[in-house]
Amino acid sequence: MRLLLISNSTNPGEGYLDYPKNYIKDFLGEKAKNAIFIPYAAVTFSYEAYEEKVNARFAEIGHHVTSIHRFINPMEAIENADAIVVGGGNTWQLVKILQDKGLMKVIRKKVKKGMPYIGWSAGSNIACPTLRTTNDMPIVQPEKFKTLKLVPFQINPHYLDDNPANHGGETREARIQEFIEVNREVYVVGLREGTMLLLEGKELTLIGNRKARIFKYGQEPLELSNEDDFGFLL
């Protein structure tokens, strides 16, 4: 499999998809791909606007996406695609629509056979076995929590080390500790802003200048950099 799982689309003070664009270009290669974009995580803006926003950045790297909502037969669109790109937004809505349209199995099948997969935020979440480490509010109710299971571990995108000032709620680490308390066999990767995971075949690496925080029940959290081996997660 080939996966590029990005924590966030935009760093403070930068344009949309600016920091990961060259990694996306390297991942997709020089030749333009028939890339299908899945915009279903969008809630407060249209699929057309989302497609346009992504294409504005992809044009800079010689690539283009077509949103899946433009196809009469979305399953056929995925079957005929060269790559799949899944945007961020609300993970619950993304999962519900993919389930309602029966697209989870066809996406998983194609990616397992080698179709390149790019996702950021919610798009990274659904590459995991379930959506249960998302940060999003459950604004809709999907049929089930199971997602694509392209990787055997969970990702928490936008991982934060501290709570905002004057906020008395749980830290992100405390919430993940709750998750691993009741899901003791599962690793959770806290993927900080500005970083991404690249899977090429059986090699998993971290891209970016910040470390990832790895959680597992009964173990002290690990801080791993782009020079460390992430193969144990697979």
The residue with greater pLDDT, 168 or 216, is 216
Question: Taken in order 146, 152, 153, 156, is the CA torsion positive or negative?
Answer: negative
Question: Taken in order 74, 80, 86, 92, is the CA torsion positive or negative?
Answer: positive
Q: Within 13 Å, how many C-alpha atoms sit on residue 39's CB side?
A: 21
Residue 124 catalytic? no
Q: What is the pLDDT of residues 64-79, one digit of tens each?
A: 999 999 999 999 999 9
* Helices and strands, number each (H, E), in the chain: 7, 11
| pLDDT of amino acid 170 | 84
Residue 121 catalytic? yes
| pLDDT of amino acid 168 | 73
Question: Taken in order 136, 140, 141, 142, is the CA torsion positive or negative?
Answer: negative
Q: What is the pLDDT of residues 108-130, one digit of tens each?
A: 999 999 999 999 999 999 999 99
Residue 158 catalytic? yes
In terms of Cα–Cα distance, which of 79, 72, 66 is closest to 34?
66
Range(s) of the domain holding residue 212: 2-233
| pLDDT of amino acid 94 | 98
Return d(Cα 173, Cα 180) in angstroms, integer.
11
Confidence of residue 225 (pLDDT cuts 50, 70, 90): very high
Contact assessment for residue 28 and residue 116, using Cβ atoms and an 8 Å cutoff:
yes
Residue 20 has pLDDT above 90, yes or no: yes
| pLDDT of amino acid 144 | 97
Q: Which one is catalytic: 63, 69, 124, 136? A: 136
- The total number of structural domains in the chain stands at 1
DSSP 184: T
In degrees, rounded to 5, the angle at the alpha carbon of residue 71 between the alpha carbons of residues 89 and 117 is 50
| pLDDT of amino acid 169 | 79
pTM metric for this prediction: 0.96
Facing residues of 37 across strands? 67, 85
Q: Which one is catalytic: 121, 124, 161, 162? A: 121
Q: What is the pLDDT of residues 142-197, one digit of tens each?
A: 999 999 999 999 999 999 998 777 777 789 999 999 999 999 999 999 999 999 99
Q: Which one is catalytic: 18, 64, 82, 158? A: 158
DSSP 24: H
| pLDDT of amino acid 72 | 96
CA distance between the termini of the chain:
12
Amino acid at 102: G
In terms of Cα–Cα distance, which of 99, 100, 121, 97 is closest to 108?
99
Task: Report the CATH number at residue 214.
Answer: 3.40.50.880
Confidence of residue 9 (pLDDT cuts 50, 70, 90): very high
